[in-house]
Structure 1
Amino acid sequence: MDTSSAPIPAPPRHWEADVLLRDGRSAHIRPITPDDAELLVEFYSRVSDQSKYYRFFSPMPQLSPRDVERFTRVDHQDRVAFVLLLQQRMIAVGRYDLVRPGEAEVAFLVEDAHQGRGIAQLLLEHLAQAGRERGLEKFVAEILPDNSRMIQTFRDAGYRVASEYEDGVLQLEFPIAPTDTAVGVMHGREHRAEAVSIERFFNPRSVAIVGASRRQDTIGQTLVRNLVNGDFTGRVYAVNPTAGAVSGLPAYKSVSDIPDDVDVAIVAVPADAVQDVVLDCAAKGVHGLVVISSGFAETGEEGRQRQRRLVGLSRSYGLRLIGPNCLGVINTDPAVSVNASLSSVMPPRGRAGFFCQSGALGSAILEKVQNRGLGLSTFVSAGNRADVSGNDLLQYWEEDESTEVVMMYLESIGNPRKFSRIARRVSLRKPIVAVRSGRTTQGVPMGHAVRKIAAPPQAVDAMFRQAGVIQVDALEEMFDVAQLLAHQPLPRGRRVAIVGNSDALGLLAADAAAAVGLVVNKSVALGAEAGADDFEDALDAAIDDPDVDSVVAVYIPPLNVSGEEVANVLAAIGEQSDKPLVSTFLGVEGVPELLRVPDVAGSTAGRGSVPSYPAVEAAVRALAHVVEYAVWLRTPDGVPPDPDAVDQIGARNLLNGLLAEHPDGLEVPTPALRELLATYGIDLWTAHPVHTLDEATAAADELGWDVVLKATAEHLRERPDLSHVWRNIDDRREMADAWQSLTTLIGDPVESGFVVQKTSPVGVPVAVRSIEDPLFGPVVSFGISGPIIELLGDKAYRIPPLGERDAAAMVREVKSSPMLFGYRGSEVVDIGEVEWLIRRVAQLQNDHPQISSLELPLVLAGPHGASVLTGHARIDPVADARSDWFVRRLPSAPGDTIPS
């Protein structure tokens, strides 16, 4: 039958994405369409005879019209194919075809010129995810024995591979479930590709300034001056179509006219001319662009469309983009010394990498860094953050030996799940200090092409804590913390010694320490006349004290005394101590010259330098933040959730069945919810809705009495006086009394939602809830049940997947948690059971994005377990993949609806 004119169903939108190849260049992946026939024929003509033979096991020099028809017309269900595009040309194709239910044969063909760039692995990841969404469980492949590269591709994928030979062909089969190994392999490749894509921006061998100008006080002139005056060790090329020379440099009419290779182009031309620059740079083979130009998404809808076209064009030609509307990039490494920015300040060499988005704020930050003597390794102002984001920089800084501390000023988060995953891994090696604007409003600045986070602000804060990120409230506090992390060792605990020559400041330090959870184990008041020897003896004794984990030194000198001798003591002890030492020294801010230790790496202040704070409270707050990070580092995450302990397939089948009957979504009926929760080992107690006394009596008979009659309507079910509940009903007479009393007090049993339920053991009422945020993905909350708790917002939040550490922290961080731990002589509840329940709800929500919301609003936690008495859930079809799915993808271009 001729199917050439049959309509083809549209593939899911999230199957299309920009991706990074192994060498850090971008490409575009999407499902194949019939319109790709010409591209496919051209692609096939560029493939070598050997590659064709490896693909088809026979000479096949060209594709027949029938072959082209068969390869380009797929149903995106049983036959799925993806193409990879670069510079508007097809460079690879991968496909699977169903061979039997749950099993499909997979095959790839990659243009020879692009082999070795990790393309087959990318195609396999995206095909496997599409297959999982279509209900596949296993891929099979037939490969010629000497096709070693493709055999290695499958073996390196992280899946469990079984193989055998038959008729001279190697037959491979492997399940495509996203195992920890497979996901780890994918994340490892993502990390390497993103780190490589950023490395060239910081270590260019040559830079072209497009829009270089001879006129003073112009952006183009400033960029040339800063790059040259910053002692850049590479080659600088000025691009100006109307000038012969700029600042003594020969000027070229275009990037293509430059005779040598160009790694990075700094673009400072009007917004409507930037796209022509992209094409020019692509023809030259430039690696990346830093677009200083404004006039994009920050100006409104027309600018957003212009920015979207800019990103799409850049990625289609394999270019990475910083900006637009950005300040630029800086690397202080003397081997490079690149100041490709509008800032005339070249910060001193240091250990901290800094990421921000606002250009204006970036200039102020660089001034502050220089004044404090903190020093930076690298700096990026990403502007509108249309392509390169904070996630990319984290991937680079994780491996950068010059960066020991990461500072981030975040105005928006495009992909919170990915940020959380990467930050959690980076924090295990290097501390991250972050300031996030819009914490209360969750607002998104103009120009930032991200969706607003619907999850409450507390959930975002919890995500930072969960990932080990040190979140502070202001830029000044970020520098306070960073200078301590960059120069002093981490503390072992919360015990503090205070040594100073001011009783008043010593008391302020003690009060500040108590307010932030530190314990003052030693306080030494030396008196106003104390000298260097007094400080040396007291500081040595404090540091040698096994009951002290860190030391705060306070020095306010008498009149006409420089304090140099005391400074020498502080610097010497700070250099030798394995415990952190912070100071309030002469009211100076930063790392003053007198307290600096020389650094062999060229930094202005080396390891052991003692940071100073103008107010002792600031010193203590900075120390408290570092203590919390040190505690996070030492607390094991515990055993991850066991996928074999739950029936994930059963839950998925149940949800898919409900959605097949209700494609627009539905509130899950109680029997179906009970079945759903049971797949994850959660027992939702049976509750019989009743409208009459006879129905209530019959329900009690069925349950065997010792029952509860209660109202469940929204306005009644959490009354503080519990007047909507009648407990321990044992016979018909008691049921009649209960019915009479409740109907008299509350009213109509139907409107009030009367139910009969078995009486549960006594316990503390707690609530576990989860939602699927459109941008954030799954979010889980925990708190004590009740309207007062709800009004006060006393809840703990986390982002799944949860480890044992996360669940334990949730239970303990709510202010009402003492009710669970024997408050006023009550019994301690089974905390382990509560934590288990939180983790199971998190696992269920994480595994099934169809669950829009899940509530267990009444769980009675007692000394011998927890009883789940009520539950509610809503499910909806999944329109888009989560922002951090099991495939690698770059953030979507501005205006796209695909999660970024």
Structure 2
Amino acid sequence: MQNPSDRHEYPAHWEADVVLRDGGITHVRPITEDDAQRLVSFYEQVSDESKYLRFFSPYPRLSAKDVHRFTHHDYVDRVGLAATVGGDFIATVRYDRVDATGMPASAPADEAEVAFLVQDAHQGRGVASAMLEHIAAVARERGVRRFTAEVLPANTKMIKVFTDAGYAQKRSYEDGVVRLHLDLEPTGRSLAVQQAREQRAEARSVRRLLAPGSVAVIGVSRTPGGVGRGVLEHLRDGGFTGALHAVNASFPEDLTEIEGVPAHRSLGAVDGPVDLAVVAVPADRVPEVVDACGAHGVQGLVVLSAGYAELGPEGRERQRQLVRQARAFGMRVIGPNAFGVVNTAPGVRLNASLAPEMPRAGRIGLFTQSGAIGVALLSRLHRRGGGVTGVTGVSTFVSAGNRADVSGNDVLQYWYDDPETDVALMYLESIGNPRKFNRLARRTAAAKPLVVVQGARHSGVPQGHAVRATRLPHDTVSALLRQAGVIRVDTITELVDAGLLLARQPLPAGPR
């Protein structure tokens, strides 16, 4: 990617991976002059109606002048951002700084006209709302304090995007056009809107991983034994309610099933959608598997494969590339080096993990970063739960491994409004984003008990984990947890005991 600029270099810090309303991911980045063909292809896939609503008249194609204007920016007075999936544009947003008369201007003018265009196939996913958040942040950075937008009255979806954003705004109607003025200074309502959008999107992204309609296990051996074959058997024996597929490129052409499960030599040979792929192949083969998953429209990955950041610098780069590759296709990743995920809900019955038995169903959610700790927790919960059923079993279990993508914060977002989980238990070896964790933990703990073991008594990060070190003393983290209303315990035995106690009795009445 070039860094064209009349006045500023390419602002790489504006790039971001954004979780959308349906749980998918899009990559938001500045538009450059190298994007001319991407822009033309994007526009060709937009309906005539959407083009009319954007340009207020029939506008079947972009002229060469349009393409030049929409791909050449100075990243100060003229800024364009694109939302991409698989490298292709699915939406664009731009602002142009103007003066009081609406003519092009430069600083110190602090007003800009803003306009969006979202591909029809991606409308309704919350793309425009997410793009508005990002272009507003960019504008504030560049000294723009107000947006104006002209919208046709028939474009009710876009009007709603602006009015729901929570910014202070004014609206007028002139010459058949709705004119909106937005003050970009964050308000309590705009921040609440952003956090609510974040919660819904991240919860949905985890839900897609925990409640898939179909699962493919990639790397299943023909003979018993091996990680992939084991997970396939756990899914089958656990009673997974959706479609199940076994995939291995080395299967003979005449092999049609493995122990009653349809067998395929490639993911592309699967007839129908695959929501979740469990990847159990050597690390050097994972990239081709991710490409195949992206091409097939897979929504999420559980990567059991090891050989990533836990091995050092080369592995860390391999891990970063895994996340970049998956997110380019809009997929989220649990792992790598993960133990797997479990959902005991009767309508799902998912045991996509290395645990040989489906845990007893109940109302307790479990999150760990370590597979060994996950095994110990499941075992202790099963033993100590005794014959009590209905509440003291597991609702969902996530062992995130190296946490290259999905982390404890994402799972907290899911548990917050999960009706199947009454108590949340977490074994944390580090906290990658203490501020966000504090905010999410405080909110979750107000709705249901949250019990945490702080596993690593040091300021560093366990090897392999794709998080920044908190660099906070253990006592400071403990105080942070207390302030958030989290119940902190010292051992996994206490974690299980506290979880069972809280699951068996309702929360006491009172204001705290």
Counterparts of 1:168 and 1:350, CA distance in 2? 57
Counterparts of 2:115 and 2:260, CA distance in 1? 56
Q: In the alignment, does 2:498 pair up with 1:461?
A: no
Counterparts of 2:264 and 2:96, CA distance in 1? 52
Q: CA deviation at 1:329?
A: 0.6
Larger relative contact order (C-alpha < 8 A, sep ≥ 6)? 2
Classify the secondary structure of the residue corresponding to 2:447.
coil
Show the 5 A alignment for 1:250-261. Answer: 250-261=262-273
Alpha-carbon spacing, 1:144–1:334, altered in 2? closer, same or farther (3 Å): closer
Q: CA deviation at 1:342?
A: 0.7
Match of 1:293 among 305, 314, 339: 305
Match of 2:462 among 437, 445, 451: 445
- Could you report, residue by residue, the CA deviation over 1:693-724 in whole angstroms, capped at 9, with x for unpaired residues? xxxxxxxxxxxxxxxxxxxxxxxxxxxxxxxx
- Could you report, residue by residue, the CA deviation over 1:382-428 in whole angstroms, capped at 9, with x for unpaired residues? 11111111111111111111100000111222222211111111111
Counterparts of 1:34 and 1:5, CA distance in 2? 7
Question: Match for residue 111 of structure 1?
Answer: 119
Question: Match for residue 364 of structure 1?
Answer: 376
Match of 2:511 among 634, 637, 643: 634
The one-letter amino acid paired with 1:409 is Y
Classify the secondary structure of the residue corresponding to 1:428.
helix
Question: Match for residue 306 of structure 1?
Answer: 318
Q: CA deviation at 1:285?
A: 1.5
Alpha-carbon spacing, 1:490–1:112, altered in 2? closer, same or farther (3 Å): closer
Counterparts of 1:341 and 1:634, CA distance in 2? 39
Question: Match for residue 335 of structure 1?
Answer: 347
- Could you report, residue by residue, the CA deviation over 1:620-651 in whole angstroms, capped at 9, with x for unpaired residues? xxxxxxxxxxxxx735xxxxxxxxxxxxxxxx
Show the 5 A alignment for 1:547-566. Answer: none
Counterparts of 2:207 and 2:276, CA distance in 1? 11
Classify the secondary structure of the residue corresponding to 1:108.
strand
> In the alignment, is the contact (CA less than 8 A) between 1:434 and 1:471 conserved in 2?
yes
Show the 5 A alignment for 1:328-727. Answer: 328-373=340-385, 374-439=392-457, 441-491=458-508, 634-635=511-512
- Could you report, residue by residue, the CA deviation over 1:133-165 in whole angstroms, capped at 9, with x for unpaired residues? 222221111111211111111111112221111
The one-letter amino acid paired with 2:302 is V
> In the alignment, is the contact (CA less than 8 A) between 1:345 and 1:366 conserved in 2?
no
- Could you report, residue by residue, the CA deviation over 1:169-217 in whole angstroms, capped at 9, with x for unpaired residues? 1111021111111111111111111111111222222211111113333
Counterparts of 1:427 and 1:191, CA distance in 2? 15
User: Which 5+ residue runs of structure 2 have no aligned equivalent?
Assistant: 100-108, 386-391
Q: CA deviation at 1:15?
A: 1.2
- Could you report, residue by residue, the CA deviation over 1:363-395 in whole angstroms, capped at 9, with x for unpaired residues? 122111111114211101111111111111111
Counterparts of 2:60 and 2:287, CA distance in 1? 38
Alpha-carbon spacing, 1:421–1:11, altered in 2? closer, same or farther (3 Å): farther
Counterparts of 2:368 and 2:507, CA distance in 1? 26
Q: CA deviation at 1:5?
A: 8.0
Show the 5 A alignment for 1:739-818. Answer: none
- Could you report, residue by residue, the CA deviation over 1:775-816 in whole angstroms, capped at 9, with x for unpaired residues? xxxxxxxxxxxxxxxxxxxxxxxxxxxxxxxxxxxxxxxxxx
Question: Match for residue 103 of structure 2?
Answer: none
Match of 1:263 among 267, 271, 275: 275
> In the alignment, is the contact (CA less than 8 A) between 2:97 and 2:113 conserved in 1?
yes
> In the alignment, is the contact (CA less than 8 A) between 1:352 and 1:406 conserved in 2?
yes
Alpha-carbon spacing, 1:134–1:462, altered in 2? closer, same or farther (3 Å): farther
Q: In the alignment, does 2:148 pair up with 1:140?
A: yes
Classify the secondary structure of the residue corresponding to 1:186.
helix
Counterparts of 1:120 and 1:234, CA distance in 2? 33
Counterparts of 1:6 and 1:275, CA distance in 2? 34
Counterparts of 1:225 and 1:37, CA distance in 2? 49
> In the alignment, is the contact (CA less than 8 A) between 2:4 and 2:33 conserved in 1?
no
Question: Match for residue 64 of structure 1?
Answer: 63
The one-letter amino acid paired with 1:147 is N
The one-letter amino acid paired with 1:474 is T
Q: CA deviation at 1:8?
A: 4.5
- Could you report, residue by residue, the CA deviation over 1:818-851 in whole angstroms, capped at 9, with x for unpaired residues? xxxxxxxxxxxxxxxxxxxxxxxxxxxxxxxxxx
Classify the secondary structure of the residue corresponding to 2:228.
helix
- Could you report, residue by residue, the CA deviation over 1:651-706 in whole angstroms, capped at 9, with x for unpaired residues? xxxxxxxxxxxxxxxxxxxxxxxxxxxxxxxxxxxxxxxxxxxxxxxxxxxxxxxx
Alpha-carbon spacing, 1:208–1:145, altered in 2? closer, same or farther (3 Å): same
Q: In the alignment, does 2:286 pair up with 1:277?
A: no
Alpha-carbon spacing, 1:427–1:5, altered in 2? closer, same or farther (3 Å): closer
> In the alignment, is the contact (CA less than 8 A) between 1:328 and 1:381 conserved in 2?
yes
Match of 1:131 among 132, 139, 143: 139
Show the 5 A alignment for 1:829-848. Answer: none
The one-letter amino acid paired with 1:434 is V
> In the alignment, is the contact (CA less than 8 A) between 1:47 and 1:112 conserved in 2?
yes
Counterparts of 1:459 and 1:14, CA distance in 2? 30
Q: In the alignment, does 2:225 pair up with 1:225?
A: no
Q: Percent same amino acid at aligned positions?
A: 54
Counterparts of 1:445 and 1:454, CA distance in 2? 13
Counterparts of 1:44 and 1:303, CA distance in 2? 39
> In the alignment, is the contact (CA less than 8 A) between 1:407 and 1:478 conserved in 2?
yes
> In the alignment, is the contact (CA less than 8 A) between 2:364 and 2:396 conserved in 1?
yes
Q: CA deviation at 1:491?
A: 4.6
Question: Match for residue 192 of structure 2?
Answer: 184
- Could you report, residue by residue, the CA deviation over 1:550-573 in whole angstroms, capped at 9, with x for unpaired residues? xxxxxxxxxxxxxxxxxxxxxxxx
- Could you report, residue by residue, the CA deviation over 1:11-42 in whole angstroms, capped at 9, with x for unpaired residues? 44431100111111111001111211221121
Counterparts of 1:6 and 1:371, CA distance in 2? 64
Counterparts of 1:207 and 1:258, CA distance in 2? 11
Q: CA deviation at 1:67?
A: 2.0
The one-letter amino acid paired with 2:428 is L
Moved more, 43-52 or 166-175: 43-52
The one-letter amino acid paired with 1:193 is A
Counterparts of 2:300 and 2:73, CA distance in 1? 36
> Of the two, which has the highest radius of gyration?
1
Counterparts of 1:185 and 1:392, CA distance in 2? 18
Question: Match for residue 788 of structure 1?
Answer: none
Counterparts of 2:21 and 2:429, CA distance in 1? 30
Counterparts of 1:350 and 1:37, CA distance in 2? 54
Q: In the alignment, does 2:330 pair up with 1:322?
A: no
Classify the secondary structure of the residue corresponding to 1:209.
strand
The one-letter amino acid paired with 2:96 is D
The one-letter amino acid paired with 1:405 is V
> In the alignment, is the contact (CA less than 8 A) between 1:230 and 1:339 conserved in 2?
yes
Counterparts of 1:40 and 1:233, CA distance in 2? 42
> In the alignment, is the contact (CA less than 8 A) between 1:214 and 1:247 conserved in 2?
no
Alpha-carbon spacing, 1:39–1:8, altered in 2? closer, same or farther (3 Å): farther
Q: CA deviation at 1:487?
A: 0.8
Q: CA deviation at 1:6?
A: 6.1
Counterparts of 1:225 and 1:168, CA distance in 2? 63
The one-letter amino acid paired with 1:463 is L
The one-letter amino acid paired with 1:14 is H
Classify the secondary structure of the residue corresponding to 2:465.
coil
Q: CA deviation at 1:489?
A: 3.4
User: Which 5+ residue runs of structure 1 have no aligned equivalent?
Assistant: 493-632, 636-900
Classify the secondary structure of the residue corresponding to 2:191.
helix
Classify the secondary structure of the residue corresponding to 1:368.
helix
Alpha-carbon spacing, 1:379–1:49, altered in 2? closer, same or farther (3 Å): same
Question: Match for residue 173 of structure 1?
Answer: 181
Question: Match for residue 698 of structure 1?
Answer: none
